[in-house]
Amino acid sequence: MRILGIETSCDETAASVVRDGRVIESSVVASQADLHRRFGGVVPELASRKHIERLLPVIDEALEKAGVTLRDLDALSVTCGPGLVGALAVGVAAAKSLALSLDLPLVGVNHLEGHIYAAFLTEPDLAFPALALVVSGAHTDLVAVSDHAQYRTLGRTRDDAAGEAFDKVARAMGLGYPGGPEIDRLARTGDPRTVPLPAPMPFRRRSGRIDDSLEFSFSGIKTAALRALHAAARADGQFKADLAAGFQRVVVDVLVDKSMRAAQSLGVKTVMLVGGVAANTWLRAEMQRACAAAGCRLVVPPPSLCSDNAAMIAAAAFYRLRRGGGSDLGLGASSDLSLEQTPNNSLA
Partner 1 sequence: MRILAIETATSLGSVALLQDSETVAVISEFVPRRHLEWLAPALQRLLGSAGWTVAQVEAVAVSTGPGSFTSLRIGIATASAWARARGIPAAGVPTLAAVALGTQAAGAVCAMMDVRRGEVAAAVYAGGGAARPIVDEVVGPVERVLRQLPAGPLTFSGDALAGYAEVIAGMRPDAVLAPRAQWYPTAVSVGRLGWERLSRGEHNDLYRLWPRYVRSPVDQA
Annotated binding residues for substrate: 134-138, 167, 180, 184, 280
User: Applying CB under 8 A, which residues contact partner 1?
Assistant: 39, 43-46, 48-49, 51-53, 55-57, 59-60, 70, 85-86, 89-103, 328-333
Q: Which does 192 bind (CB under 5 to 8 A by kind): partner 1, Zn ion, none?
A: none
- Local structure of 119: helix, strand or coil: helix
Q: Which does 333 bind (CB under 5 to 8 A by kind): partner 1, Zn ion, none?
A: partner 1
CB 149 within 8 A of CB 323: yes
> How many binding residues for Zn ion (CB under 5 A)?
2
For Zn ion, give the closer residue by CB, 136 or 327: 136
CB 181 within 8 A of CB 279: yes
Q: Which does 308 bind (CB under 5 to 8 A by kind): partner 1, Zn ion, none?
A: Zn ion
What's the closest the beta carbon of residue 313 comes to Zn ion, in angstroms? 10
Among 136, 217, 309, 344, binds Zn ion (CB under 5 A): 136
What are the beta bridge partners of residue 28? Answer: 15
Among 113, 167, 184, 308, binds Zn ion (CB under 5 A): 308
For partner 1, give the closer residue by CB, 102 or 127: 102
Burial (0-12, 13-18, 19+ Cβ within 10 Å), 2: middle
Binding region for Fe cation:
111, 115, 308
Query: What element of type H or E holds 299?
Result: strand 297-299
Q: Which does 136 bind (CB under 5 to 8 A by kind): partner 1, Zn ion, none?
A: Zn ion
Give the span between the Cα atoms of 184 and 231, in whole angstroms: 22
Q: Which does 62 bind (CB under 5 to 8 A by kind): partner 1, Zn ion, none?
A: none
Which span sits near Zn ion by CB under 5 A: 41-49, 130-138, 240-248, 329-337?
130-138
For Zn ion, give the closer residue by CB, 242 or 308: 308
Which residues, other chains included, contact 230 with Cβ-Cβ below 8 Å and sequence gap of 6+? none
Q: What is the DSSP string of 9-64?
A: SSSEEEEEEEETTTEEEEEEEEE-HHHHGGGTS--HHHHHHHHHHHHHHHHHHHHH
Count Cβ atoms below 10 Å from residue 61 Cβ, excluding itself: 15
For partner 1, give the closer residue by CB, 15 or 173: 15
CB 306 within 8 A of CB 118: yes
Residues that bind Zn ion (CB under 5 A): 136, 308
